Structure 1
Amino acid sequence: MQLTYRSILLLGTALCAGMASAQEPGPVFLGTLRIDVEAAQNLLGNDEITEEEIEGRNPATMADVFAGESSVTASGGAAIGQKVFVNGIEESLLSVTIDGARQNKSAFHHTGNILLDPALLKSVEVSKGIAPADAGPNALAGGLAYTTRDARDFLEVGDTFGGLTTLRVGSNGQGFRRSLTLFGQQGGFEWLLSGTRQTGDDYADGDNVTVPGTEADLGAYVLKLAHTSDTGKRLSFSASDTKDTGIRAAQAGGGGLLFTRPDFAEVVGRPSTFVEGLSRRQSYTLTYTDENPQGWLAPTLQLSYNEQEIDASGVWGLNTSLSGVAKNEFQLGNGTLTAGLDFFRETAEGEGRGTGPFGSSGEETLTSVGIFAQARQDLSDRLSVSYGGRVDHQEFEGADGSKFDETGLSVNGALDLVLTDTLSLNAGVASSWGGFELGEAALINFGDVWDYTGFRSSRANTARIGLRYESGPWAASGALFHTAIDDIAAVLPEGSPRARGALSDLTSRGFDASLSWTGERLFARLNYTYADVEVDGDPISSTAYYLGRPMGHIFALEAGYDVTPEWRVGGNAQVALDNDDGAVSLPGYEVLNLYASYKPRHVDGLEIRLDIENLFDATYSSRSSDGIGLPNVVALNEPGRTISLTATMRF
C-alpha cells in the first residue's frame, strides 16, 4: 500500500504543480507540440480516422469504417455480430468511448461489443497499445475513441436550420438504407435529430452461395441538444438508441436451448433454426466544457449512462455503465498538463431460459475510481515528450457474493526526436493496470455455478519504437510493437464449477508500416501490419472470445483522385496473406472496392455516388472472423460483388 499512497501523492503533486505553473493570467502561447502532430502520433500507434476519410469510405457498417486500415480489422455479417480488433486484440481489452463516454462490452460472445451506426460518425481515434493516462481506466491494449457530429459540424456561420438526407440502395442483400438528420441553432442554442433505418435480405458470397442469417435490420436514432454561452461555456446532452434485429441462425446448445450465433455460417452437426435476434445499445451523456478558457481553468465535466442488451434466444444479458470524468487542461510554459479524476460503476446480469441449472441468473458489479495526470511538452526544438500516470481503485462483487478490491498504478511515456530535416525517431512505453473485468452477462451461472477462486486483476506492458520520414508529398513510417497482457481472468469460464479465476496471458507483437503520397488532387496510401498473437505462449485460436484473433500479414491500400471539381474516383483494397504459423491454417484473400462520386455544380448540396464492393467477387472470410479453420464451424463468408447507389442531399 505504500506504493499506492506514494503514487497518489505524486499525481497530486503534479496536479498542484500544473496549477502553480499556470497562475499567470491570460492565455499562454504553446507553439507547436511535435508530440501532438499527426505523424508523431501515428508512429506511436495513435491514428485518427478523419471525417474526410470516413466520408470517402461511405460506411454502411462499422466494418466499412476501417476499410483501408491494416491494423484495425472488423468481423463481418450482420451488425449484431461485428467485432473490432486492433493488432489482433479484441476491443473488450481496450478503452472504448463514444463522444468521451465510456462504453461497456457485449453480453454474449457470439455478438459484437459496441453496436454503433456510422451515419453521424465524425472521427475515430485509435490507440494501438500505448494509451495516455487521460484516455481512461482499463486501457490495457490501447483505445478506440469515436466522435460523432454535432449540429455546428453541419451548419455554416449564420445558418439557423439545415438537414441531410441519404438514400442508398444496393444489390446482394444490401437492401435499402435511408437516413434523415435535421439540425438548427439560434442564440447559442443548437439541436440535432437523426434517424437511420436499413433493411435488406441475406447476402451471397463470391460463389453465389446465400449466407443465411445476415439480413440487414438496423435502426438508429440520435438526439443532441447544446447551449454555448458568449464566453464559451458549453453544456451538451445527447441520447441515442441503436437496435439490430432480424432473423439470425441459431443452433442447439446447453439444456437443449437454442442460441443465436450470428458470427457463424453454420455449426457442424447442429442443424440451424432461424429465430429473431436482438442487439440494442442505449446511451445518455451530459457534458460541460469551456471552449474559451482564461488563465488556468479549462475544465471538462461529463456524466454518462449506457446499456447494451442481447437476446440470444436461449439466454438474455444486459451490461450497464454509469461513468463520469472531471478534468482540467493546465497551460504550462512549454506544453500542457491534463489532470483530473474519473469513475465508473458497471454491471453484468443475465438469465437462462431453460430449467434447473440452465434457468439460472446472476449479476456481477464493478466499481472504479481513478486519478490521473498527463503532460505533453516540448523540451527543446528537437525533442518533445508525453508522459503521465494514473492510480485506480476498483471493487468487484461476483455472482456468488464474493468481493475483491485492489488499487493499481499505470504509467506511460513517449518521445519524439527530430534526427534530420526529414527523419524523426518516435518511441513509447506503458505499463497499464487493467483491474478486474466483468464476465459474460448472458451466461452467468449458466449450466453450473461460477467459482472465483484465483480471481485477480490484470496488467499490460506495451512498447513501440519506430522512424518516420517526410519529404514533400511523400511520407513513410515503420514501427515495432509489443503488447503483453498478463492475468486476464476468464470472461467466459469453463469447467465444473465454472472457473472464473482461470487466468490467461495474451501477447501481440509485430511490425506496422505506412507509405503515402499526397498531392493537390491525388492521394494514395499503403499500410502494412504483421501481428503475431499468442495466448499462454501458443498461437491464438479463431474463437478466443474476449481475447483476440490470429492476424498474420495484412496490407491495405487506399487512394482517391479528383478528376474535376465535380467528379472524384477512388477505392480501397485489403490483402491478407496465407498464414500457416498459427493453431490453424488461415487462407489469404484479396478484395478490391471502387467508387465514383459526382457533385453537380448546379445543384448545391447534392452528391451521387456509385460503389462496387468486392469487385472481383472473391469468396473469403475476414481475417478477424470467428471460427476460421475449425473443424466444427463453417466460418461466415463476406458478401460477394455488391453494387450500390447513394444519393445524399444537404439543405
Structure 2
Amino acid sequence: MRKAKFALLPLSVFVAMNVHAEKTEQLDVINVVTENTGAKSKTNVVTLADLNKSTNQDLRGVLSKEPAVNFGGGNGGTSQWVTIRGMGQDQIDIKVDNTSSDAQLFHHQSRFMLDPSLIKRIDIRKGAGSASAGIGATSGSIEATTVEAKDLLREGQDFGFKLNAGVSSNKGHSQGATIYGKAGVLDALFSGNWQTIENYKGGKGYVNKEGSQTVKNSAIGERGLLAKIGVDLNEEHRIVLSHRQERYHGSRALREEFDFSQSYLYGTASDLRPGQTLSTIFTGKNNRGQNTYYILDSNGQFIVNDANNSPRYRITTQNTTNLEWTGKKMGFISEAKANAYLMEMSRKEIDSHSELKIVTKGANVNLDSEIGESHWVKYGVNYRHQEGKPNALASNIKANQKKEDVGLYLEGIWGFGPVTLTTGARYDHFKFKANTGKEVSRGDFNPSAGLIWQVTNNLSFNTNLNYASRSPRFYEVMLAGSRVRDVADNLRAEKARNTEIGFNYDVNENLSFNGSYFWQKVKDAHAVKNNTIVNSALLRNQGYELGAAYKLGAFKFRLGVAESKPETTALNGATLDNTVLAVAMGRTWTTALSYKFEQPSLEIGWKGRFVEGKTGSPSRGSNTGEAAIKQAGYGVSDFYASWDVNKNLTLNFALNNAFNKYYKSHSQRAGINSLPGAGRDFRLTANYTF
C-alpha cells in the first residue's frame, strides 16, 4: 500500500526537479545552485567526472535537469535563446569567471557563447539577486567557473592530459585535448575543443517547403580554447591569468533563430522582382501597416522564403582575458577575490568584409569578513565599461554607444541559532551614451533581505525579498551604425522586485522534497518610442518550482516541475520585442531514472522533459505581428549508458529524442518559422584521462 501511495505522490503533490546534493571527494565540481536569502541551496550537483560520463556538448544538455531553465532550438549557442522562469535573454545574464557583458550584436542572435567542456561549476540564479549578486541582477543569471590544473591533477600527480572524442548521428563529431601540470608554485592548463555540426534533421513529420527533413543553415563549426596559468604566492594568496575563446563559424541565416524554409515568400507590390506577381492570398500586415500577400514566381508557383534570411558565411568570436587574485586571512578581511578583464565579441562576414564588435572592460573586488562564529559580512565594488562598434557609422550617427556601470554593495549574513538572517544594500550608477551623442546617468539604491529557519535537522523554510536594477542595454550593434536610437532625458534603470518563499525537507536518507513560490515585478522596463529608449513597459511574473528525489542503493529517481506566468505590458504607445523580455511557456516537467552496476562499472538511465501546451507567446517573424498563438506541448525522452572501462577510459552512449518527436521549444519566438528541436540522435563519446 505504501508503494502505491508513493507512486501517486509525485503526480498529485509536488515531485521533483532537484537531486539532493551528495558529497563528492573531488574538487572538480559543477554545482547548479539557486540563490535563496543570500545563501545558496543546491538543487543538483554535477562533477567533471559526471561530464566525462555524458555526451553533452552544449549548455542545454548540461542544464537539462533544471525545468525552470529552457533553451530554444537550433545548433550552436548563437541560435539557442535561453530563458529562466520564462524571462528572456535581455533580462538574464551569463558570467564566466566573474566576467560579463549585457550588450548584444544583433537581436536575432543569442548573446550566450559558452563551451561547457571544461567548466568546474555552474550557478543558476533565479529572479532578482541579493546585494552581492553583481551588476544588473534583475531576473536571473547563469554563472560558470572554468577548471584549473589543480582541479584535474590527481594526488601525487604533477602532469596529466585528457583526450575526448565523440560522434553524433544527427549530425556531427567532436574532439578535444587538454594538458595540465604544476611545477613548484606554478600550475598551468591548456585546452582545446572542436565540434563540427552538420545540418540536423527535425523529428518525425518535419518537412520544410522544399520537401526536405533537414533544417537548412543549421550547420556550424565550434571551437573552444582555454589557457590558464596560476601562481601560489603563498598559502593564502594566489594569482591566475587566463584567456578563453569561443568561436562559431559557418553559413548561417541572418536571423539565426528562424528557419524561413518552412514558409513561402510574401510581401507587397514594392517587394516584387522581375517576373514575380502577387497572389490573392492575404498573409497579414508588415511593419508599415501594409497588406501583404504570397509572391508567385514567373510560373505562378509559390516561392520558398529561405532567401529572405540571407544565409552567408559568418564567424562569431568571443575572446576574454582575465586576471584574478584571491587572498585569505588578512586581518579583518577573511577572504578576498578581485579580477580585471577584457572581453571582445565580434561577428564577421567574409563576403561583405564587415565586422561588428562589442568591447567590455571590467573589474570586481569582493571581500568577506567573519564576525564572531555565526556572522559574516560581504562587501565590494563592481565596475563595467562597454562600447559597441558597428562596421561603419552613417552620416546621421554621431558616436559609438558606450555604457559605464558602477556598483557598491554591503551584505550581512547573521546566524542566530536555527535562524539565519540576511540583510543587504546595493547602490548602482550608470552612464549611458547613445549613438546620437546624448548622455544620461542615474543612480539607484536596492535593499535585500532574507530568512532561513532550520526547524529541525531535516526541515527548513526560507524567504527573501530582493530589489535590483538594470541599466539600459545598447541598441543592437548591427543596426546602431545606420539607425538613430536616442535616449529619453529622464531615462531610469529598470527596477525589479522579487519575493520568494520555499522549503527543503529530507524525509529520510532516501527521500527528499523541496519547493518555492515567487512573485516578481519589473517596473520602468525599457521600451522604444519614436526611436528613443524610454521607461515604458511593465513586466510581471509569478510561479513555482517543486521537487523531490528518491535514492535506494544504486537506484535513483527524480521528477520535477516548474511553472511561471510572465507578462509584458507596453505603456504609453511604446514598442516591445516581447520574446527577449518574457516568454509564455508551458508547465515543464523533468524526470530521471538511473541504476549503477558495480561490475562492470556501468550506469544506465532515462531522462525526460515534458512541456505542456501554452497560449501567449507572440508569433513574430520578420514583421512586428505580436498575435498570441497556441504552442503545442511535447515530451522528449533520452536514454543513456556510461561504462568506466578502467580508471582512465570512459565510454558513453546516448539515444536522445529516442521516439523522434517533432517539437518546438517554447523558449524562442513562436510561429511556423521557429526552429524545431533535433530529431532522434545516437551519440557515442570517449574520454581518456591520464
TMscore range, shorter length: 0.7 to 0.9
The structural deviation recorded for 1:284 is 0.6
Contact preservation (8 Å) 1:245, 1:279: yes
Aligned mates of 2:135, 2:542 — CA distance in 1: 23
Amino acid at match of 2:468: S
Partner of 2:300: none
Contact preservation (8 Å) 1:43, 1:479: no
The structural deviation recorded for 1:145 is 1.1
Contact preservation (8 Å) 1:343, 1:370: yes
Partner of 1:168: 166
1:584 has 2:629 as partner = yes
Instruction: Indicate the RMSD between aligned Cα atoms, in angstroms.
Output: 2.8
Contact preservation (8 Å) 2:637, 2:658: yes
**Closer, same or farther: CA 542–327 of 1 in aligned 2, 3 Å:** closer
Partner of 2:593: 559
Partner of 1:349: 389
**Closer, same or farther: CA 396–274 of 1 in aligned 2, 3 Å:** closer
C-alpha deviations, 1:543-562, integer Å up to 9, x for none?
A: 62431322131111123321
Contact preservation (8 Å) 2:485, 2:533: no
SS in structure 1 at match of 2:390: strand
Q: How many correspondences in the alignment?
A: 589
SS in structure 2 at match of 1:625: coil
C-alpha deviations, 1:365-392, integer Å up to 9, x for none?
A: 1112221112222112x21122211112
Contact preservation (8 Å) 2:609, 2:637: yes
Partner of 2:18: none
The structural deviation recorded for 1:44 is 8.2
SS in structure 2 at match of 1:363: coil
Contact preservation (8 Å) 1:542, 1:550: no
Contact preservation (8 Å) 2:579, 2:668: no
**Closer, same or farther: CA 55–553 of 1 in aligned 2, 3 Å:** farther
Selected match of 2:665 from 622, 639, 644: 622
The structural deviation recorded for 1:443 is 1.4
**Closer, same or farther: CA 555–144 of 1 in aligned 2, 3 Å:** same
- The 5-angstrom pairing of residues 134-213 of structure 1 reads 134-173=132-171, 175-207=172-204, 209-213=213-217
Aligned mates of 2:66, 2:608 — CA distance in 1: 9
- The 5-angstrom pairing of residues 53-202 of structure 1 reads 54-55=51-52, 57-79=54-76, 80-173=78-171, 175-202=172-199
- Quick check: 334-343 or 160-169, which moved more? 334-343
**Closer, same or farther: CA 83–362 of 1 in aligned 2, 3 Å:** farther
C-alpha deviations, 1:497-551, integer Å up to 9, x for none?
A: 523226222222111111111344232222211111111189xx99624313221
Aligned mates of 1:43, 1:610 — CA distance in 2: 39
Amino acid at match of 1:614: N
1:398 has 2:434 as partner = yes
The structural deviation recorded for 1:294 is 5.9
**Closer, same or farther: CA 378–404 of 1 in aligned 2, 3 Å:** same
Partner of 1:524: 557
Partner of 1:379: 416
Partner of 2:491: 455
Partner of 2:543: 510
Aligned mates of 2:35, 2:650 — CA distance in 1: 34
Unpaired segments of 5 or more residues in structure 1? 1-35, 250-259
Partner of 1:30: none
The structural deviation recorded for 1:301 is 1.5
Partner of 1:216: 220
- The 5-angstrom pairing of residues 404-415 of structure 1 reads 404-415=440-451
**Closer, same or farther: CA 211–179 of 1 in aligned 2, 3 Å:** same
Contact preservation (8 Å) 1:361, 1:445: no
Contact preservation (8 Å) 1:281, 1:306: yes
SS in structure 2 at match of 1:50: strand
Partner of 1:470: 506
- Quick check: 216-225 or 510-519, which moved more? 510-519
Q: Compute the TM-score of the two structures, normalised by the length of structure 1.
A: 0.85
Aligned mates of 1:429, 1:361 — CA distance in 2: 42
Aligned mates of 1:362, 1:622 — CA distance in 2: 38
Unpaired segments of 5 or more residues in structure 2? 1-30, 207-212, 266-304, 618-627
Partner of 2:461: 425
**Closer, same or farther: CA 621–40 of 1 in aligned 2, 3 Å:** closer
Aligned mates of 1:504, 1:434 — CA distance in 2: 14
The structural deviation recorded for 1:65 is 1.7
C-alpha deviations, 1:312-332, integer Å up to 9, x for none?
A: 788753222111112211011
Contact preservation (8 Å) 2:464, 2:499: yes
Selected match of 2:257 from 255, 263, 273: 263
Partner of 2:584: 550
Amino acid at match of 1:556: T
- Quick check: 560-569 or 636-645, which moved more? 560-569
The structural deviation recorded for 1:482 is 1.5
Amino acid at match of 2:430: Q
Partner of 2:242: 238
Partner of 2:656: 613
**Closer, same or farther: CA 218–56 of 1 in aligned 2, 3 Å:** same
Aligned mates of 1:448, 1:434 — CA distance in 2: 22
**Closer, same or farther: CA 407–453 of 1 in aligned 2, 3 Å:** closer
C-alpha deviations, 1:326-346, integer Å up to 9, x for none?
A: 221101121211111121111
1:298 has 2:335 as partner = yes
- The 5-angstrom pairing of residues 16-35 of structure 1 reads none
1:646 has 2:685 as partner = yes
- Percent identity over paired residues: 20
Partner of 1:388: 424
C-alpha deviations, 1:453-504, integer Å up to 9, x for none?
A: 66332100111112332122211122111121112223xx4x7x52322622
SS in structure 2 at match of 1:443: helix
Amino acid at match of 1:305: L
**Closer, same or farther: CA 356–406 of 1 in aligned 2, 3 Å:** closer
SS in structure 2 at match of 1:153: helix
The structural deviation recorded for 1:407 is 1.1
Aligned mates of 1:397, 1:39 — CA distance in 2: 34
SS in structure 2 at match of 1:77: coil
**Closer, same or farther: CA 451–95 of 1 in aligned 2, 3 Å:** closer
1:637 has 2:667 as partner = no
Aligned mates of 2:477, 2:668 — CA distance in 1: 22
**Closer, same or farther: CA 279–542 of 1 in aligned 2, 3 Å:** farther
Aligned mates of 1:366, 1:616 — CA distance in 2: 48
**Closer, same or farther: CA 58–133 of 1 in aligned 2, 3 Å:** farther
Partner of 2:643: 598
1:571 has 2:606 as partner = yes
Aligned mates of 1:475, 1:409 — CA distance in 2: 38
SS in structure 2 at match of 1:246: strand
Partner of 1:337: 377
Partner of 2:27: none
Aligned mates of 2:193, 2:576 — CA distance in 1: 32
The structural deviation recorded for 1:308 is 1.6
Partner of 2:23: none
**Closer, same or farther: CA 116–431 of 1 in aligned 2, 3 Å:** same
Contact preservation (8 Å) 2:178, 2:192: yes
Aligned mates of 2:237, 2:220 — CA distance in 1: 41
Selected match of 2:524 from 478, 487, 502: 487
Aligned mates of 1:519, 1:139 — CA distance in 2: 39
